[in-house]
Structure 1
Amino acid sequence: MCNDILKCLFILLFWFSETANLPSRITALSGSCVQIPCAFGVPDNELKKAESIFGVWIKHEHAFLNSGSLVVYNGSTNISTGFSRIEITGNLSQRDCTTVFYDVMNNHSDNYYFRVEIKPQYWLYTYNLNPIYISVSDSPQPLIFTPDLKEVKENTTVNLSCSAEAPCPKQPPTISWSNTPESAHITPQLQEKPDKTQSVFSHMTFKASYMDHKKNISCTATYPRKSSKDSTVETTVMLRVLFPPKETRITIDPSASVSVGTNVTLTCKSKANPSDNMTFSWHKRGQANQLDLGELTFTVNRSRGGWYFCIAKNEHGTQNSEEIQLIVEGSFDQSLIIGCVVGVSAILLTFLLITLFLRVQRVKASTIMETDVSDQGLEKQVQTIYANGGFVSGEELEMPKDENDIVHYGEIDFSTSQTKITSVQGSGQETVYAEVRGPGMEMNQD
């Protein structure tokens, strides 16, 4: 037990000052770089007296002067040994010793210790209690899918993430997706993990559709490296969507047109998940009762013709198929017969109406024409009569001077509603007389 509080605080401060905050292990990709997050402890009073502060990295052994150890980087001289370049990117005056090792190779796999030197000779310390092991690999680390998708319901929003280790944030991997749903929205970002290492994170959001069921969605990370080609790593997950029956349809074997006595099988097919407990019920247009479940098999007679449909059902819903007609050869559908009769009757009735109309129009035209002709004939006759009458009344009648002169008489008898015109031919000249005789009237000729 520690009885002196000040002494205990001093011991705690001493132990804290001898620790460095480093990941115990980090995996690097050969031909790329690796960033080591690092923080160290040092007493405030020592840090305040510092005129200069340097960082040192030692490989394999922590002893600075040990022959088995190798100083791969000395900040006081800024010299790297065994590496193309090492750079401390952290601010040492703020106890940040984050460092980047460039172009790591397989032979660089080992333990590494951080050492701090504060000058003038106030603080020289190697943090040997917590080294970091750098493991160099020719292949990138596996990708991580979250969450581990098992089943999602149709029309629900799905959030899927893919993350790739980024041992070298200065040259991070790029993440791409393939075979993604049409509604997918993707957002990439760089994330820092609790141990201060980083990873590239890609988030995808989409609405689940039955068309995405059993779709293999792939996530691929591509790492740039100092080699002939980049390194890639890929992970695939199968999406499972729960949905009610879709694309329900009927097939008929042997065909939709059969003769009496043929054995026919109607099969209902549909897409659904789950499909193990899916049921199919059969129905016929005009019949209220359900026909059967599963496949529908029967021997065809004339009453079996008609329109059939099926209903597919699982725990998430139902769907009706389109109707399909089973035609029995030699028989006709009643509705088709009625339709044909009505159509033919309508055509005949229209034809008769048109014929009757045309006939009436012809009769009217003929009557009008006859009336016009009759009126024109009578008018012509009357004009002749009045012309003759005017001639007789307007001129002095001369008696023939000898018996050779011939007198012509014309007679119109209205008692019989007829006009009679008589003309007598004589030699030399022709005289036309018109006589109008009405009932009770006589006209004497002297």
Structure 2
Amino acid sequence: MPVFPFMVFLFFPYELVLVSSELVHAELPSRITALSGSCVQIPCRFNGSEINLKNAKSVFGFWIKKDHVLSNSGRLIVFDGSANITKGFSRIEILGNLSQGECSTVFYDVMNNHSDNYYFRVETNMPGQKYTYQNPINISVSDSPQPLILKPTDLKEVTENTTVNLNCSAEAPCPKQPPTISWSNNPESANITTQLQEKPDKTQSVFSHMTFKASYMDHRRNISCTVTYPRKTSNDSTVETTVMLQVLFPPKETCITIDPSASVSVGTNVTLICKSKANPSNNMNYTWHKRGQENQLDFGEQLTFTVNRMSGGWYFCTAKNEHGIQKSEEIQLIVAESLSLIIGCVVGVSAFLLIFLLITLFLRVQRVKASTIKETVIADQGQEKQVQISSIFANGAFVSGEELEMPKDVNDIVHYGEIDFSTPQTKSTTVKSSGIETIYAEVRGPEKEMNQD
């Protein structure tokens, strides 16, 4: 068999190999990092048309460690597809369809001593069709997973109410046992999607995307991305990275505090402090105002003055930065003398109302007493009148029948009239003497009583 010189062409990340008189190549990443205790998947593809796989009844794949030269005694066939034999590994599985040039393979339970170069070899049942590809893949086994990639790493220019996108990705050397990604301290409004992605060299990574709308409450928030790798060991392996969120926003929660208090006496030094949250805050502008006054009182974070009688009233401040402005709620400053005057007025009015109420009550009681006395007098006079009516005096005026009406009750008291016989009478009825007419009255009691007598 004639020997032809071979030529190697570098085509990153693959190598092109000229074996015999045909140009054949295997598509392999030049390097892959595996995690000890886990598995590693090697993407692999070869040009099947160049070795006439269509006419082959069977195709077998091999993996050789250390060297591609078959005569080298140091070589080790770790996987023999023709006999399904695995050496040095717990298990090796070719996932691809070799008849279609697919040779992707999974090495399970890799350990540190598995770090080395590995070559792929394909054989068919047809004579002369045995090819070992000279572009190996280097498997590097590590006890620690590869670092995460969190983008963007600098969020200082995020403005409030703008949409923020964070991407966290990590190597997935074993898609059969993919790592999991989790986020911590993320905003409640965040929307997260996670998936496996294929990279240009056919290896895979786990990719998580977070999106949310920035709020001033997210300023200086530490958002962490954590990746956990399942391993055939006592503990899973995790790796984490954190980014601090920087949000630019206008003044928020602007308010005023008064030192020493909101109620002070005349002559006291008082300080009003305007507080506000903002980013940036190093160039904040503060303006002071008082209700009822058009002009500003002062500028600056603090307003200090000596209290006088005119200092009382409602104060407010405004805070401003390059992103906006906000006005605080008004706060009242009470001067103690004014407070005493108000309290004195309230007490005076209350005392006046109390005195008025007492006088009104006294007068009402007096009216009630007077009415009671009057009714008593009227009652007494009525009784006296009844007595006068029931008594008939001599030489009195004529009394009508109604006034002499006797009580209807037989038990009522019977009043007898008094007749004066001091003057001798000659007639039994009426005697006229000296022009004076004397009337004699006859008093009778009830018939029942008279009958009893």
Same fold (TM over 0.5): yes
Further displaced range: 256-265 or 46-55: 256-265
**Structure 2 match to 1:311:** 318
What do the CA deviations read for 1:403-445 (whole angstroms, capped 9, x no partner)? Answer: xxxxx6484699xxxx9xxxxxxxxx9831599xxxxx98523
Residues 33-48 of structure 1 mapped to structure 2, 5 A cutoff:
33-43=39-49, 46-48=52-54
Q: What corresponds to 1:444 in structure 2?
A: 438
Cα deviation, residue 192, structure 1: 2.1
- Identity rate, percent: 63
Question: Aligned partners of 2:276, 2:309: CA distance in 1, in Å?
Answer: 29
Query: Which residue does 1:345 correspond to in 2?
Result: 349
Query: Is the alpha carbon distance of 1:370 and 1:108 closer, same or farther for their aligned partners in structure 2, counting shifts above 3 Å?
Result: same
Secondary structure at the aligned position of 1:43 is classed as helix
Shift of residue 355, structure 1, vs aligned partner: 5.6
Q: What is aligned with 1:431?
A: 416
Unaligned runs of 5+ in 2: 1-17, 405-413, 421-434, 441-453
Rounded Cα–Cα distance in structure 2 between residues aligned with 1:64 and 1:216: 56
Does structure 2 retain, via aligned residues, the 8 Å contact 1:50–1:122? no
Work out whether residues 64 and 71 of structure 1, in 8 Å CA contact, stay in contact via their aligned partners in 2: no
Select the residue among 130, 153, 173 that pairs with 1:124.
130
8 Å CA contact 1:17–1:43 kept in 2: the answer is: no
- Within 2, Cα distance between the matches of 1:30 and 1:282? 66
Return the offset for 1:170.
Answer: 1.5
8 Å CA contact 2:62–2:120 kept in 1: the answer is yes
Deviations along 1:335-375, whole A, 9 cap, x unmatched? x8458636853774487368637845873685388358626
Q: Would you say 1:141 and 2:146 are equivalent positions?
A: yes
- CA gap of 1:71–1:354, structure 2 versus 1, over 3 A, is farther
Q: Secondary structure at the match of 1:240?
A: strand
Please tell me whether the aligned partners of residues 58 and 64 of structure 1 are also in contact (alpha carbons under 8 angstroms). no
1:303 match: secondary structure: coil
Residue of structure 1 in register with 2:236 after alignment? 230
Alignment partners' CA distance in 1, 2:350 and 2:396: 63
Alpha-carbon deviation of 1:189? 2.0
Mapped contact 2:37–2:109 kept (Cα < 8 A): yes
Q: 1:65 to 1:376 in 2, by over 3 A?
A: farther
**Residue of structure 1 equivalent to 2:382:** 378
Give the secondary structure class of the aligned counterpart of 2:224.
Answer: strand
TM-score of the superposed pair, with normalisation by structure 2: 0.75
Give yes or no for contact 2:309–2:338 (8 Å, CA) kept in 1: no
Alignment of 1:51-200 (within 5 A): 51-121=57-127, 123-128=129-134, 130-150=135-155, 151-200=157-206
Q: Which residue of 2 aligns with 1:393?
A: none
| 2:28 aligned with 1:22 | yes
Aligned-partner Cα distance in 1 for 2:381–2:118 = 140
Q: Aligned equivalents of 2:343 and 2:280: distance in 1?
A: 45
Tell me what 1:363 maps to. 367
- Give the whole-Å Cα distance in 1 for the aligned partners of 2:120 and 2:358: 111
User: Counterparts of 1:15 and 1:293 in 2: how far apart (Å)?
Assistant: 88
One-letter code aligned to 1:374: I
Partners of 1:157 and 1:77 in 2: CA distance? 57
Aligned length: 393
Corresponding position of 2:304: 297
Deviates more, 1:133-142 or 1:183-192: 183-192
Distance 1:239 1:114 in 2: 47
Equivalent position of 1:273 in the other structure: 279
Residues of 2 paired with 1:16 and 1:383: CA distance? 162
Aligned-residue Cα RMSD (Å) equals 3.6
Distance 1:326 1:355 in 2: 40
Matches of 2:101 and 2:161, distance apart in 1: 51
Q: Are the equivalent residues in 2 in contact too, given 1:266–1:296 (CA < 8 A)? A: yes
C-alpha separation in 2, matches of 1:263 and 1:244: 32
Give yes or no for contact 1:33–1:102 (8 Å, CA) kept in 2.
yes
How far is 1:68 from its partner?
2.9
Q: Secondary structure at the match of 1:229?
A: coil
8 Å CA contact 1:254, 1:265 repeated in 2: yes
Moved more, 89-98 or 361-370: 361-370
Q: Look up the SS of the partner of 1:378 in the other structure.
A: helix
The amino acid that maps onto 1:444 is T
Find the aligned partners of 2:268 and 2:345 in 1 and give their Cα distance.
Answer: 30
2: CA distance between counterparts of 1:351 and 1:92?
Answer: 113
Task: Describe the SS at the equivalent of 2:371.
Answer: helix
Residues in 2 aligned to 1:265 and 1:363: alpha-carbon distance in whole angstroms: 61
Distance 1:16 1:344 in 2: 118
Cα distance in 2 between the residues matched to 1:213 and 1:320: 21
Give the 3 Å change call, closer, same or farther, for CA 109–445 of structure 1 in structure 2: same
More deviation in 180-189 or 364-373? 364-373
- 1:372-420, CA deviations, whole angstroms, 9 ceiling, x for partnerless residues? 86268538845983x779xxxxxxxxxxxxxxxxxx6484699xxxx9x
Structure 1 runs not aligned, ≥5 long:
1-11, 390-407, 420-428, 436-440
Counterpart residue identity of residue 378, structure 1:
G
Instruction: Determine the C-alpha separation between the residues in 2 that align with 1:361 and 1:256.
Output: 49
Task: Indicate if the aligned counterparts of 1:411 and 1:433 stay in contact, CA closer than 8 A.
Answer: no
More helix by share: 1
Counterparts in 2 of 1:136 and 1:262: CA distance versus 1, 3 Å: same
What residue number does 2:251 align with? 245
Task: Tell me which amino acid in the other structure corresponds to 1:84.
Answer: S
Determine if contact 1:17/1:41 at 8 Å carries over to the other structure: no
Contact 1:17 1:42 in 2 (8 A): no
